[in-house]
Structure 1
């Protein structure tokens, strides 16, 4: 029994049924020629979403990505340092002293998974710093993901790969030259490191890494070019800035630039465990977005209230008919 048959047989009610509905909607959207922007919040790269997301990218089921700086860098961390990661299945039982011991070993914990600072973060910092400094000296400026693409294309890390490269979503995106937007990059590990290198003077021009406002400008240009030709869907994993930032491009074009004829998002799905509550945006039901000019009355809308580390790979496998 394939994934589609399994889901259709067993996932008939509640969030399980919502998963099937969303997957069918996704499939109809892209099979009909639509484009899909996927947003990544949380720690999906450390959850190794690349195993399923990379294949979605290769098979042209994903056409653009908005992600946190953490998701951008953590896919690369996992690519070169997978064997040094440690799992802590009993993380709920850790005492503050246990946590301090992990810090002493330079093991940064994300729920049940520890990212090794020296093997992952500092190794990537060294090669990215070379790119930052080279661009700084040349008076060139790039977005965070473009620096990552330059590192990957330069080949300096190839001998250090510790997973099958086909399981890296960033490598798949690089090979497709996928557009990526990384709002709020400065709060990520590499963003912190970049700020430190600007303070120390290793990088002279803080604007060597392009800004969030420039990212919104390029997103607006991309959407303005693509959406009139083919519907653009919005598949949101989690909440936060990774989703909030890109979805706002449509009302910005309409309301702030007073442009007419700009299509609304053509599909919307969010996987989230956030509950609807007073003032909660991550937990807001899709209909609320109609009032903000993001979605239309007839936009296909889905919300799967569950764990994205379970739901997203299943849904992607469904779309890919694996």
Structure 2
């Protein structure tokens, strides 16, 4: 028997770790575009899941944005069925007319389709093929936006979307490993032209910025950026726990939040409290920005009789009788 190629072993080990202890008896579904990352993930899941007593299926989303996308999706589905994955679904989605730019609209449509598929099959989770390189790109994009620790935390290995667990087993696996795993298994990945289209910021980071950083600073920069995301994610989770407790403590009996209680909090905790409270008040999370939280914070730390701070959705928050209130 030929020895197992190290990249194949690396991807299988990552999947095994992600599935170990996953609650629920339902299948896991792999989101697979046919690219190297998701194809290597799907092949590894088809091998690992049955050995853990778990069914594994596949969902491929057809965004309809490129000629031949439906045929590509059907090809992925045929390969999945031949590989023993079950259930297998092709889900067409409509991207046009959704809010945001084309990347955001496609992502929203894709995740909505994946969540719906998981519910149809009572899936224990959906596996996504983001790699260590994707994580590094996410950190660089967050830096360019001036994001805080939450943005710099990158993509979590696990989160829930509308009650459906989303798992990213490959965040410690390189993109080169997924390509080499496909080659070792005789798989031919699909090359998404969007990944090299300079119209997209992530494509420019992938094609130009990250390779330039590797050339200037060495190949370890990719792993270092990903490790930065992990460290910041842990710090952010701890601060979020502190903020959740602090929000309870600073609630005023008359309603709203106590200014004195807020002022006594460290800035990193106070701004998280204000952000969480703003969401409680009904501010849309996608529209709630640093600017809005800073305006709330100024009512506490830079009070000089100014008028109310206005949150997204037309929500005014004012300082009155020692409280922040609406």
Q: What TM-score comes out, normalization by structure 1 length?
A: 0.26
TM-score by length of 2: 0.26
Question: Larger radius of gyration, structure 1 or 2?
Answer: 2
